[in-house]
Every structure is written in structure tokens, then in C-alpha cells.
A and B are shown apart, each in its own frame.
Chain A
Amino acid sequence: MIGAALDLAGRVAARVAVLAAVAFLLVPLLVACLMSFDDRSFLGPFPPRDFSLRWYRAFLDNPAYTDGLFVSLQLGVIAAAIATAVGLAAALALADPRLPGREAMEAAFLSPKFIPTVVIGFSLLVFTARLGIYEPMTRLILGHVVITLPFTLRAVAASLIGVKRSQVEAAMSLGASEFRALWDVAVPAARSGIVAGAAMAFVLSFDEVAVSLFLSDAFTQTLPIALVAEMRANLNLTIAAVSTVFLAATVVLLVLLDRTIGIERLAGDVGARG
């Protein structure tokens, strides 16, 4: 009797804990979302009494934000494209078990995941200066490729697990060069990984603050950098509006990916394809 009661109590406690964790994750997002529609001109207490789109208009009227949005979009697309192409090439090369030094190379490719982004940002700032690269967009693209590459590589590599070496060799025996065989056999199988990797790279690049902070200048700022700068200068609810736009864009992207390739694949849990 006591054992059963304890069992029940344990299960109830576990459920409460899960609900609390979910609430902890979602409630702040909802608060920010609701505040962004507040009609008050000052940062008032929650909840708002009247609603309007005034902060969204403020967002669109502020050139610091709109320029930032444009820079971020451009940067995200270019960095994601480069990181995906490089990640694909690297994953294909690393998929060959006979490649000498394979594990060391894989570790090198994945290392940006574990190095603090502040360190990466500072290192790249010094490095690009030494190379004579001062154009902020080029610097930003470089930095964002470095931090998103581990994710595209992993996503593509996971989807290549289902490709058997014998399929690539079959294509070669039928007259395809090794590159051609990989292109015809491995790349189609990795399509979901490529899409997932590119999407993840774009989202990561769009969110990135630390590396961008080092590599941008006063005239070329990403949206998150512009947000931080504005927040310091005058704290108002435009930030809530921008956050909501950010959130909506991410949700839309995730739903689209789920519809096309499935969310499990996006998370990297890719099974073998038959």
C-alpha cells in the first residue's frame, strides 16, 4: 500500500516537474510575444491593457533594425550555402573508411562546436586583419561558416550512413568516376541531411551574437547586434516586437522542414534508408 502510494506520488512529481520545465521554457516567450503588442509608449507592467502594432511600426521605421535584418538575411543565406557545400564535401570525404587521418580530421571539423564563440570571434578578428581582410561582410561570412560548419557536416554525415560503399563502387564499375559516383549515388541519399544542415546553419547564423560582435563594424551590423546596441541606447518594446518576428520566422522554418523532411531528421537522428 505504502509502496503503491509512493509510486503514485513519484509519478505525479515527475509530471509536475516536466510541466514546470515546459512552462519555464514557454512562458517567457509568451510574455515577450504579448508585450510586443502593448499599446503603451513605455515599458509598463505585464499584462498590457490595450493592443496595437506600434512597436512593429517602430521596428520597420528604424533603419538600424531594417539594415540589420537585411545584413542578417544576406549573411545567413551566404554562410549557410558555403557551410553546406563545404560540409557536404567534407562528409563525403570522411565517409570513406580508408581515408588516412580520418578521425583527426573529423575532430578538427567539429571543434568549433566546443570552442567558445568569443574565442572564435576574437581569433578571426586578429587572423583576418593579418590577412588584410577588413571588409566586414567577408569577415562575417568567414566567421559564420566556421561556426555553422560542424552542424552541416554532422547533418550530412548522418544521412550518408544509409549509403553503402558498394553502391558507390557499383556506380564506378558502371563507368562513373569516383566524384561522379558520389554525386549520383550519395548526394541524392543525403538530400534530407543537406536541407536540414542548410536550415540549421541559417538559423544559427541568424541568431549568432558573439562572433558577429567581433567581426562587424558600425556600418555593417547584423540584426542581433543592432538589437543589443539599441537595447543599450533606449530600452523599449521594439525589442519584444523583433523577438516575436524572430520567433515566428523560426517556427515557420521548423514547420516547413517538418512537412518536407521530418523533424527527427532535422534533429540529426537519421536512420538508414532502405
Chain B
Amino acid sequence: MTLEVQNLTRRFGRMLALDGASLDAGAGEVVALLGPSGCGKTTTLRIVAGFETADSGSVWLGGRDLSRLPPHGRDIGLVFQDYALFPHMTVADNIAYGLRRRGRDAAARAARVDAMLDLVRLSGLGARRPAQLSGGQQQRVAVARALAIEPQLLLLDEPLSNLDAKLRGALQAELRGILTRIGTTTLIVTHDQEEAMALADRIAIMSQGRVLQLGTAREVYERPACRFVAEFLGSALWLEGRVEPGGFVTARGTALACAPPSRIASRHGLLVRPEALRIGAAPEGWNALSAQVTGARYRGAVTLLDLLVDGAAPASIELERGTSPPPPGATLALAAAPADCILVPEDAGG
């Protein structure tokens, strides 16, 4: 089923939670709604689920307008951040709840519960109570319960945020596997970009009630639509300045070669991902930048060198293994290939 969210607005008192948010997901596609807390992603999810109403805008699922349907009439599977398992029911009864509400007979329910327990690799745990399961197991029960009703859309609210870091990696792969196998259109709300990249086909970056960019992980990381997206994902070196014929001139007057902008905007900045920066003199045709060392942070596997690039822009680069960090205050020469220097509009378009 395709999901289309069009121009949602929602005001809570004086706060504009949603300011014309739009996004879409194709049939079977997994889309992540990614943004900082307070960006409106949870409100969007609650409007799609039917627990909140939009002031304007609409939600379409498979060509059906959901706006006037109550939550229980929408056929949407929802996995809550806290899983929201029913503590007084067994795992099997939790999974069967939606089927019971749909009037399926006992045999059909039992068969579906077994299939779902199989899907999430919890076979044999049907008689347990939720409190007897680990956090990761509870999370999978919540997924199984949401999928048991064969929903037209699956909504996941911060699915892995309640798990510790070690477990999260393993469950990410597990969850991605489940989503691929069932092929249900899925919307994931998260503030964790790694989670979004690992689970989703496309990512919608949200800020201040609007979706700024919707694209694959590669698109949003390598061709961000605006400064917010560029700086929100990963780490970024952001140089202010102006576009000149054939390149970019920073506020300090450093001329840099780069590809022409993908979109014409009134103001642009230059984005360089720190992993594209090399320490040392620039080879022929590369851009040269100077930087001042402000500090070093030992992180075990890597040591991060904090820099102030071109006199104004902070950045952190990974130091090569075995090299000792230069002292704070030292000046470094940096080099970046023109292909890695990307012109990005300051503000989101539209």
C-alpha cells in the first residue's frame, strides 16, 4: 500500500508542531522519519495512526483517505517506543489480541500466532508473560503483535531506542530482515540517524514541522538539500562564503574549486565531509585549506583532532593510527578533492 502524507499542519497552543509536512512511501517501502526531538515527527506518526488530528492536510493509504477513520478502523500496525505490551496477557494472547478483535476463530488465531512467533524467532515463548522477557524479546513481541493483523501500514516509534547499544546492532539487522520478509509499507520515526540508515530505504529529514528532504541514505548524506540536513547527518565542515564563477570563495577569501550547485538559491555554503579531508599539502588540482588545532580527543579505536578550518569553521577529523596529535595552536595544511566540496543551499527550498 502506498502512503501519502500531504501538507500536514498542527498547532498546539502557540507552538506550530507541523508546518506543512509532506512525505510518501511506495508499496513495501520502508521510510524513516528522522529529526531532532520536537521536530514534529512523533506528531506526524500520531496523526497517521489516528490518535491526533491535523488542522489541515491529509493522509492517504492505498488511495483511501484516512482523515475521518478512527484509529481502530485504519488497519495500521503500531509498535510503541515502550512496546506497550499488555502485562496481564501472555505473549501469545498479546499477539492474538488484534485477531480476537477481528473475530477470527481460535484455530486461525493459534496458527497466526505461531507464524508470527516464528517470524520474530520467539517460537516456544508464547506462554510467557511480557515481564519474563528481555527488552529485545519484548520489542519483537510488539512487532509480532502489530504484524499479526496483516496491517496495510506498519508504524515504528523509536523502535530500538530503549535497548542498550550492544543489543541494538544485532536487533537492527534482525528488524531489517523481518521488514524485508513481510514487505509491508513501513514508517519509522527515529532521532537516531544510524538506525534510519540501517533500516530504511529512504529517509525523510524533518525539522521545525517540515520535511526538508526525502531521499535514500546516500542522497541525503552526499547531496543534502540544505544546511540543516548537511549538518544534522554525520559530521560536517561548513564553510560560509559566496558562489563565484568556477568555484566558491570563503568569507576569509580562500578560493575553492567545486561542482556547480544542484539548486539555485540565494545563499550557499560549502560542505566538506571530514572523512574527505587529508592532512598535508594539496596535490595538483586539489583545494588547499589551512586549519588550527584546537584539541585532540582519544576515543580508543580512533583519535579525533579538533580543528578550526579557514579561521572560522569547526571540524573534527580522524587521526591516522600511530600518529601523535599535533599540539593545540599548531597550524595544519589540509587538502580536499573538488568532487568532495559540495555547494549546499543555506535554506530549504519551497
CB within 8 Å of B: which residues of A? 164, 166-167, 169-177, 180-181, 184-185, 188-189, 273-274
A176 to B74, CA, bound (A): 11
| Closest CB in chain A relative to B93 CB, distance in Å | 10
User: Which residue on chain A has the smallest CB distance to residue B88?
Assistant: A188
* Chain B, interface residues (CB within 8 Å), range: 20 to 34
Which positions in B face A, CB cutoff 8 Å? 49-51, 70-72, 74, 76-78, 80-82, 84-88, 97-98, 101-102, 131, 145-146, 149
Q: Is the Cβ of B76 less than 8 Å from the Cβ of A171?
A: no
Q: List residues of chain A with CB within 8 A of the CB of B71.
A: 169, 172-173
Q: Give the 5 A-B CB pairs with smallest separation, nearest first.
A: A174-B98, A175-B101, A166-B84, A170-B84, A173-B78
B130 to chain A, nearest CB (A): 9
Residue in A172, A175, A184 whose Cβ sees the most chain B Cβ within 10 Å:
A175
Q: Is the CB of B86 within 8 A of A167?
A: yes
Known: A173-B49, A174-B97, A175-B149. A273 touches B87 (CB 8 A): yes
Q: Is the CB of A174 within 8 A of B131?
A: no
Q: How far is the CA of A184 from the CA of B82 in the complex (A)?
A: 19
Q: Please determine whether B101 and A174 come into contact, CB atoms closer than 8 angstroms.
A: yes
> Nearest chain B CB to A45's CB is how many angstroms away?
57
Shortest CB-to-CB span from B154 to chain A, Å, is 11
The 12 listed contacts between A and B (C-beta, < 8 Å) are A164-B84, A167-B84, A170-B145, A172-B51, A173-B50, A173-B77, A174-B97, A175-B98, A176-B101, A177-B70, A188-B88, A274-B131
Q: Are A184 and B97 in contact (CB under 8 A)?
A: yes
Bound complex: CA A166 to CA B142 (Å): 12
CB pair A171–B86 under 8 Å, yes or no, is yes
Given A169-B51, A174-B145, A184-B97: A189 and B70 interface contact (C-beta under 8 Å)? no
B56 CB, min distance to chain A CBs, angstroms: 20
A171 CA / B88 CA spacing, docked (Å): 13
Q: Which residues of B contact A170 (CB under 8 A)?
A: 78, 80, 84-86, 145
Which residues of the other chain, B, contact A174 by a CB distance below 8 angstroms?
A: 72, 77, 97-98, 101, 145-146, 149
Q: How far is the CB of B152 from chain A (nearest CB, A)?
A: 12
> Given A176-B101, A180-B101, are A169 and B78 neighbors across the interface (CB < 8 Å)?
yes
A274 touching B80 in the complex, CB below 8 Å, given contacts A174-B149, A180-B101: no
